[in-house]
């Protein structure tokens, strides 16, 4: 999986500790994007042409002027300002991505953290930075802004205002609309890499002390590796649908062979094992669940009472992904799923 280098520049202010912490976290917890801080006095000392706000076009001009003088390859760069940001049509923007005359993204973006600290409290600003960097980076690859031709090329599940950012971060997922777009441009392991980081950010933002949780994720290698790119996939099914389980196992085999996923179903329980304990351990470690839905599945007391509750709770609390696959006509719409 090739690494995409992305540079970050603080413009008009210098509080690099939070941004540096976000860069360190992002680099440690995903291996698709490589972030680095681009430092230049012209960035730090820049003053907006209007004292009340920055304009997107002036920031893009600044980036162009500085990059001309800096040697090396600088393909993708995100400028960050701490004041109000105005575009050509809209004021107080979340951020912007520069486009050319053909409406294609050029590789330059600008983000504003104006008022964000008050809105996202008590989530650390470094967590917000991580979310923003990841969102912009995906849009660099997809080649679209937040709203483009009716499609959404970002992580949000709807057109988001700054007041929605806490909910967006705590959700820990890529919206289905966004996922359909991202699937056209990214490989499975890249999407899993990004999803893993979102799950960690959601866990941090929902914790009682996000700052400590953020530090733990940066330092604790065991926690980091437990939520790495190869998530455990729990397959829940009725034994009456065993033939469908075999088909799913076959479809997942190429991903398992590459080490991208660790599929588990009860056929892995060997004689002599405590089968309930094995199922509970698999449920606890699952980051993805595939549910093979049929009338037999919905009629199973064991599935409904023992497997679905922890999976649904994990989806709510930890961002576990649940994929229901409806095999046959059944009362799916009447179930809690």
**4-226 classified as CATH 3.30.1490:** no
- Of 278, 271, 267, nearest to 306 by C-alpha is 278
φ, ψ of residue 121 to 5 degrees: the values are: -50, 135
Give the span between the Cα atoms of 296 and 292, in whole angstroms: 10
CATH of 232-334, one of 3.40.50.300, 3.40.30.10, 3.40.50.10140, 3.40.50.12780: 3.40.50.10140
- Of 18, 42, 28, nearest to 225 by C-alpha is 28
In this model, does residue 44 exceed pLDDT 60?
yes
How high is the pLDDT of residue 213?
A: 79
Classify residue 179 by its DSSP letter.
Answer: H
How high is the pLDDT of residue 55?
A: 93
How high is the pLDDT of residue 80?
A: 95
Strand (E) positions, the chain?
4-11, 33-37, 54-55, 77-81, 85-86, 95-99, 105-112, 147-148, 151-152, 232-236, 262-264, 286-293, 321-326
Q: Map out the domains of the chain as residue ranges.
A: 4-226, 232-334
pTM as predicted: 0.63
Q: What is the mean pLDDT of the chain?
A: 82
- The residue that leads in pLDDT, 248 or 191, is 248
- Of 332, 333, 337, nearest to 309 by C-alpha is 337
Share of the chain above pLDDT 70, in %: 87
Per-residue confidence band for 156, with pLDDT thresholds at 50, 70 and 90: low
Per-residue confidence band for 173, with pLDDT thresholds at 50, 70 and 90: confident
């Amino acid at each position: 999986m090739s690494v995409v280098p992305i540079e970050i520049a603080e413009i008009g202010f210098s509080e690099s500790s939070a941004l540096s912490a976000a860069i360190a976290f992002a680099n440690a917890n995903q291996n698709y994007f490589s972030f680095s801080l681009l430092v230049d006095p012209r960035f730090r000392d820049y003053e907006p042409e209007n004292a009340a706000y920055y304009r997107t076009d002036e920031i893009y001009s600044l980036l162009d002027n500085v990059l001309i003088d800096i040697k090396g390859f600088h393909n993708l760069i995100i400028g960050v300002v701490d004041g109000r940001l105005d575009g050509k049509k809209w004021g107080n923007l979340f951020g912007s991505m520069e486009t050319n005359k053909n409406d294609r993204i050029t590789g330059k973006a600008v983000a504003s953290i104006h008022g964000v600290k008050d809105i996202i409290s008590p989530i650390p600003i470094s967590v917000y930075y991580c979310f923003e960097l990841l969102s912009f980076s995906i849009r660099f690859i997809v080649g679209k802004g937040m709203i483009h031709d009716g499609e959404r090329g970002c992580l949000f599940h709807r057109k988001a205002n700054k007041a929605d950012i806490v909910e967006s971060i705590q959700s820990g997922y890529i919206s289905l609309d966004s996922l359909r777009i991202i699937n056209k441009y990214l490989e499975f392991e890249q999407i899993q890499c990004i999803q893993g980081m979102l799950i960690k950010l959601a866990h941090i933002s929902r914790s009682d002390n996000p700052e400590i949780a953020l530090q733990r994720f940066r330092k604790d290698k065991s926690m980091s590796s437990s939520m790495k790119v190869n998530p455990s996939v729990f397959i829940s099914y009725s034994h009456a649908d065993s033939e469908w389980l075999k088909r799913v196992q076959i479809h997942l085999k190429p991903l398992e062979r590459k080490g991208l996923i660790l599929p588990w179903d009860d056929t892995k329980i060997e004689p002599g094992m405590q089968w309930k304990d094995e199922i509970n351990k698999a449920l606890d470690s699952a980051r993805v669940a595939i549910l093979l839905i049929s009338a037999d599945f919905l009629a199973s007391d064991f599935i409904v009472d023992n497997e679905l509750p922890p999976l649904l709770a994990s989806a709510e609390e930890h961002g576990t992904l649940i994929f229901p696959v409806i095999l046959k006509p059944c009362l799916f719409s009447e179930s809690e799923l």
